[in-house]
Amino acid sequence: MDKRTTHFGYQDVPVEEKAARVADVFHSVASRYDLMNDLMSFGVHRLWKRITLERAGVRPGHKVLDIAGGTGDLALKFSRLVGPEGKVVLADINASMLGVGRDKLIDHGVGGNVEFVQANAECLPFPDNTFDCITIAFGLRNVTDKDKALASMARILKPGGRLLVLEFSKPSNPMLTKAYDEYSFRLLPKMGELVAGDSESYRYLAESIRMHPDQETLKGMMESAGLERVEYTNLTGGIVALHRGIKL
């Protein structure tokens, strides 16, 4: 048995247990995930995702993969950008989140250019050189082996294809960091308890953000995975960062 450990928030857990624990978190919050995103970010997550869409450079006919796509915010927009000749794959390891995303896209009248796949980011079930663009928004920090996942994403990108990682990161201003910590560890769990009936899952989410690699570290990880011209943009003072790399 694998004796290695990894972090689950601030806890050390056996490597083989982390995926199941993360799954329990998202099974718990799936039905209220969109509402909590709006409340937690004061709606700013929509701006962060809009910037991601603009930087993705997706055009009609493209094939796009949205990993950890959850409730389908990006996939919904991508489906309109790629048009009937394109294809969008909404992938998530969590069946509850995938179900919420499928229902949302059906409610919005999305047609046959979207496919739903339950998949682990570390071993994506697609051939080499398949996608013009891959996005993962607020999902990489929950992956057990991030290097393995980034390599898997790079493998299935077409030459010239782009990977965009939108994720919580490290604020650049010490005063902002202090206020952000206060919000994350005091207000966020209380909000989770009131709205979603689950304070522990939102405490984990706050801890998982703190354990995620900072901007420069993640840039280096993407380069090690084989991506070129990797750059990042800090959003909202570095609370969130958008990394972008190209497969040459």
- Count other C-beta atoms under 10 Å from residue 95's C-beta: 13
Q: Where are the beta strands (DSSP E) in 26-100?
A: 63-67, 87-92
pLDDT per residue of the chain (248 residues) written in tens, 0 to 9? 456 877 666 676 577 776 666 666 566 555 566 666 676 777 899 999 999 999 999 999 999 999 999 889 999 999 999 999 999 999 999 888 899 899 999 999 997 899 999 999 999 999 999 999 999 999 999 899 999 999 999 999 999 999 999 999 999 899 999 988 888 888 877 877 887 677 887 788 788 888 899 999 999 999 999 999 999 999 999 999 999 999 99
Backbone dihedral angles phi then psi of residue 194, each to the nearest 5 degrees: -70, -45
Residues 33, 38, 40: CA angle, nearest 5 degrees: 85
In angstroms, the CA 84 to CA 111 distance is: 8
The pair of structure tokens assigned to 173 is 């201003």
List residues forming the annotated binding site for S-adenosyl-L-methionine.
Answer: 71, 92, 120-121
Domains in the chain, ordered, with CATH?
A: 17-172+203-246 (3.40.50.150)
> Could you give the CA distance from residue 239 to residue 212 in angstroms, rounded to a whole number?
12
Contact 88, 78 (CB under 8 A): yes
**What are all long-range contacts of 125-128, with beta carbons under 8 Å and residues at least 24 apart?**
126/65, 126/89, 126/156, 127/156, 128/155, 128/156
Annotated binding site: 71, 92, 120-121
The 3-state DSSP class for residue 51 equals helix
In sequence order, the 6+-apart residues with CB closer than 8 A to the CB of 121 are: 67, 68, 91, 93, 136, 139, 140, 143, 149, 152, 153
Tokens of 135: 């996005």
Q: Which tokens go with 195?
A: 């709205």
Sign of the Cα pseudo-torsion (191, 197, 200, 205, in order): negative
Find the helix or strand (DSSP H, E) in which 159 lies.
strand 157-168
> Tell me, what's the pLDDT at 208?
87
Q: Sort strands 240-246 and 157-168 into parallel, antiparallel or unpaired.
A: antiparallel
- Residue 95 near residue 69 (C-beta atoms within 8 A): no
